[in-house]
Structure 1
Amino acid sequence: MSITRKGKTVDKEYQKAIRLLEEFRKIDPIMPIQTAVVFLTVASEEGINMSDLAERADITQASCSRNVGSLASYNRHKKAGHGLLTSREDALERRRKLVFLTDEGRIFAQNVLKLI
């Protein structure tokens, strides 16, 4: 099934994908797709550790850390981030960081799910 958008016919499934990407653009108009993938992975597996997150997102540990930082309250340059994720030390393995959604991140994740 298709719908019309700005005078052009667009398949409904593509329209959903476009709306999903537009939702991320509201947060950051130049957000890299890997950052969105990191967010969606954490939303689907809250409490995931950074190593597993990097593996699932198919990115390096360094990229994973940067992306989590940009989605957290403060990024690696101590500048304001997006406030969607937070990381905590794993109580059982203190070298590991576990990544969770913030309240704002949970709201954003719910909004994203409504678009799918």
Structure 2
Amino acid sequence: MTEAPTYKKMSMQRVFQLVQALREVHSDMQIETAQLFVLIAMNPGITMRELQDLSGQRQAKVSRNVTIMSEWKTAEEPGLDLVMSEIDPHERRRKLVHLTSKGEELAERLAGLMS
């Protein structure tokens, strides 16, 4: 096995640490779920439509991934409790998505790994 150049190795170690931190939350976390988590952390109060546009994911996939990251995945199965959605008070057909306190902690941890 050959060694990666130092600059690449350092960057890849950070990426690896980020992936590991996400896997500690949920060992089977899909990249699409992680992508949405980062977009929500970057844009508190983002709409489901904006998540769809920015991620390139279809509406059903965005909805499913936000549900996985919510407090409850189904009535019987808990979710990851990283995000919460609420109805937009100005447009009742829209949902706004924010991080929960657990989601904020994870976002802070991921940001710390980057510095």
Q: Give me the TM-score of the superposition, normalised by structure 1.
A: 0.90
Between Structure 1 and Structure 2, the one with more helix by share is 2
Match of 1:36 among 12, 23, 34: 34
Correspondence for 2:46: 48
For 2:63, the equivalent position in structure 1 comes to 65
Q: Supply the AA of the counterpart residue of 1:44.
A: M
Q: Distance in 1 between matches of 2:6 and 2:21?
A: 21
- Shift in Å, 1:2: 3.0
Q: What per-residue deviation string (whole Å, max 9, x for no partner) do you get for residues 41-84 of structure 1?
A: 00000100000011111100110000000001011x32100100
Task: Report the TM-score, using the length of structure 2 for normalisation.
Answer: 0.90
Shift of 1:31: 0.7
What is the aligned-residue identity percentage? 32
Aligned equivalents of 1:114 and 1:43: distance in 2? 14
Divergent runs of 4+, >3 A:
none
For 1:2, the equivalent position in structure 2 comes to 6
Instruction: Name stretches of at least 5 consecutive residues in structure 1 with no aligned partner.
Output: 4-9
Q: Partner residue of 2:98?
A: 100
Gaps of at least 5 residues in structure 2 are none
